[in-house]
Chain A
Amino acid sequence: MKPISRRKLLTSGLAATAGVAGLAVADRLAQRYALIPPDSGGFYGPGETLTYAAQRILTTHSLAREFPRSMISKAPFANSTAPPTDLFKQLEAKGFSHWPLAVDGMVAHPTSFSLGELKSFPVRSQITEVACEEGWSYVAEWIGTPLINLLHAVGTLPQARYVVYFTTDPDWWESIDMADALHPQTLLTWGMNDGDLPVAFGGPLRLRVPRQLGYKSLKYVTKLTVTDSLKKFGSGLGSMEPEYGYSWYAGI
Chain B
Amino acid sequence: MRVTHWLTVVAFFALLVSGCEIVVSHPRFYWGETGNVMVRPLFTLPIPASRKTVPTRYSFVAEDQNGWSRYLHFQAAWLAVLTGLVYGIFIVWSGHLRENLLPAPADRRWRAYGDVIAKYLRRAPPDEAEAVSYNVMQRTAYLGVIFVLFPMMIWTGLAMSPSFTSALPLTVTLLGGRQSARTLHFFLTWALVLFVVVHVTMVVMAGFWNRVRAMITGRMAAPAAKTSIVAPTGQIEEGA
Contacts and interface: CB of A to CB of B under 8 A. Distances in A.
A137 B165 contact: no
A44 interface: yes
Contacts of B28: 135-136
Contacts of A64: 162, 166
B36 A55 contact: no
Interface centre among B34, B167, B169 (most CB of A within 10 A): B34
Nearest to A241: B67
A54 B162 CA distance: 14
Contacts, number: 123
A247 interface: yes
Interface residues of B, number: 40
A137 B74 CA distance: 20
Interface in A44-68: 44, 46-48, 50-51, 55, 58-59, 62-65, 67
B74 A79 contact: no
Contacts of B72: 44, 47
A85 interface: no
Interface in A177-229: 210-213
A77 B178 contact: no
Contacts of A55: 163-164
B70 interface: yes
A154 interface: no
Given A134-B25, A137-B179, A244-B67, A212 B162 contact: yes
B35 A137 contact: yes
A121 interface: no
A245 B68 contact: yes
B161 A251 contact: yes
Nearest to A45: B75
A91 interface: no
Nearest to B183: A135
Interface residues of A, number: 41
Nearest to A51: B74
A46 B77 CA distance: 12
A129 interface: yes
A75 B38 contact: yes
Given A65-B166, A211-B166, A136 B75 contact: no
A77 B165 contact: no
Interface in A61-101: 62-65, 67, 71, 73, 75-77, 79-80
Interface string B62-79: 000011101110111110
16 contacts: A47-B76, A59-B166, A62-B167, A64-B166, A65-B172, A71-B33, A73-B39, A77-B53, A129-B33, A134-B51, A134-B54, A137-B34, A137-B36, A137-B179, A211-B163, A252-B74
What 9 A-B pairs come out closest when comparing CB atoms?
A: A47-B75, A245-B67, A251-B163, A75-B38, A44-B71, A136-B36, A252-B161, A77-B36, A135-B26
Interface of A: 44, 46-48, 50-51, 55, 58-59, 62-65, 67, 71, 73, 75-77, 79-80, 129, 131-139, 210-213, 244-247, 251-252
